[in-house]
Every structure is written in structure tokens, then in C-alpha cells.
Amino acid sequence: MAFIGVNETARKLTGAYVGVDGVARKVTKIYVGVDGVARLVWSFRDPSAFPTLLPRNEWAASHLGRLNYTTDITFLNSYVPTAGDGFRYVCAIDEGKTGSIKLYTVDDYTRHIYIVGNGSGGIYANPDSAFMFSGQGGGVNASISDFTNLRNINGLDLLDTSKVTSMARMFDGDQNLQKLNLTNFDTSNVTKMGAMFCNCSSLTSLDLRSFDTRKVTDMGLFFYNTTNLKTIIVSRSTFSTAQANTTGMFSGCGTYDITYV
């Protein structure tokens, strides 16, 4: 619940739009002061300004032979360097390499990687997001190191997947990944999901209610060897496998039961 007061009585906000340069944009984050003064602090989501991430085999090459040290990946909307914060700029990883998406690390062994956007409120995942967080190498270039020790992926709500067509092996081999928040994933244009969660043996539950799989043609090995997976929740209206290859979809999975809601 948020209230705003500007030299007058604070008023309750039930929905807020703020005009910037004549364009009304929806407020997505509201914070209120706790010192008795109501304040509104907003951040905008402007999809027309979202930068697009390079395919994994291109940006991961910047860390050739080192990604196996990575335990955490964090997406940030923006970041302003400050002295002594420990961040080390690595390279631009947006399409065109303009710097609208920057890659940072916080130590010499890339244990924590930060993917930082341009402040527009989101980052477009590349249409080809195969192997994006995979612990099984880069796919295109077998010499690219992998995320075998990846434990956490933070800020996935900033990742806009509406343009993605391939999520094949996206998390394949992330054997130390214990949880995933995919509630913001838009999969309405995805056609390839083969082995997407293959070998994610530490996952115990997956909430896939946001997944629209009606265009997907390959879901083979989708849950392969997810040995500790016990709970799978999907949407009855959008999660479809009838049109897809499902060979080995549940092979080695900890459950064969899907909860439809």
C-alpha cells in the first residue's frame, strides 16, 4: 500500500502512471518513507529501450576457462561504479556491444557475475538462448567453459524472454542449482525446449505456470535426470505437450506427476 503527499494530505495510490516527455509510463516499483513523510520513488519499464543480450556462446567466451568457478549470476537494472565496491568491469555483452549491457565480476575467479542493463527496466534475452546458464558448455563452441558450480540466479524478473525461440538446454547440467524463479518467463514464442532442465539434480520444485508451450516442438529430455524434483506446477490452459517431441521427457525425473492449475 502506498501513499503520496505533496504539500497536502497523503493520498492512496491504486494505480500510478507518470508522464515523461509526454509519454505515460506505468510505475512498477513504489517505496514509501517511514519517517512520516509519504514519498513515491518509481522505476519504469520501457520495453522499447530494453537492450538485447548476446547469445551465450559469444559473451561466455569472455571468460573462457573460468565459468566453472561461477556460483552466482545476478541481473541488475543499472549500476553506477563507486570506489572500493569491488566490481570489475569485464566487457559489453549486448548485441552491437555498445555497453547497454555490461558484464561485471567481483573477484578474480568470477564466482559472482553481474549482468547490468541500461536502466530501462529490463533486458531482452537473445532469441537464441540455448545453453544460456548451462553447466554443459556453450554448445556451439565445445571449448567454452560451463556453469557446473552455479548455485543461484538472481534478478530473473529483469530478463524479458518474450522474443526467445530456443531455450534448449538452458539450465542443462546445473547440478548445484537448488531453486529457480521463472514466474516472469514469457515462452509464448519458444519452439525448442529440449533438455531445458536436464541434469538439474538439486532442484526439488518447479513452478512453470508462466510457461506457454503451445508452439514448442521439442521437449525431449525436458526433465531428464532431475532426480530430486518432486513438485511440478503448470497452467492447464497454456502448458501443452501434444504437439511436441517428448522422448525421455521424464526419464530419471523424481516425479511423473504434474499439477495443473
Round to whole Å and give the CA distance between 179 and 66: 23
Phi, psi of 233 (to 5 degrees): -120, 130
What is the separation, in whole angstroms, between the first and last Cα of the chain?
28
Domain ranges of the chain: 1-44, 165-261
Three-class secondary structure of residue 22 per DSSP? coil
- Other CB atoms within 10 A of residue 193 CB: 26
Express each pLDDT in 57-112 by its tens digit: 888 766 656 778 889 999 999 998 888 888 888 889 999 999 999 999 886 667 89
pLDDT of residue 192: 98
Q: How far is CA 79 from the centre of its chain?
A: 18
Express each pLDDT in 186-205 by its tens digit: 999 999 999 999 999 999 99
Residues of the chain predicted below pLDDT 50: 1-27, 29-32, 40-42, 139-143
Check residue 228 and report its DSSP letter.
T
Round to whole Å and give the CA distance between 108 and 110: 6
Sign of CA dihedral 60, 148, 190, 203: negative
What is the pTM assigned to this prediction?
0.82
> Which of 251, 150, 155, 239 shows the shortest CA–CA distance to 190?
239
Round to whole Å and give the CA distance between 151 and 180: 10
User: Rg for the chain (alpha carbons), in Å?
Assistant: 20
In order of 45, 204, 249, the CA distances from 124 in angstroms are 12, 28, 28
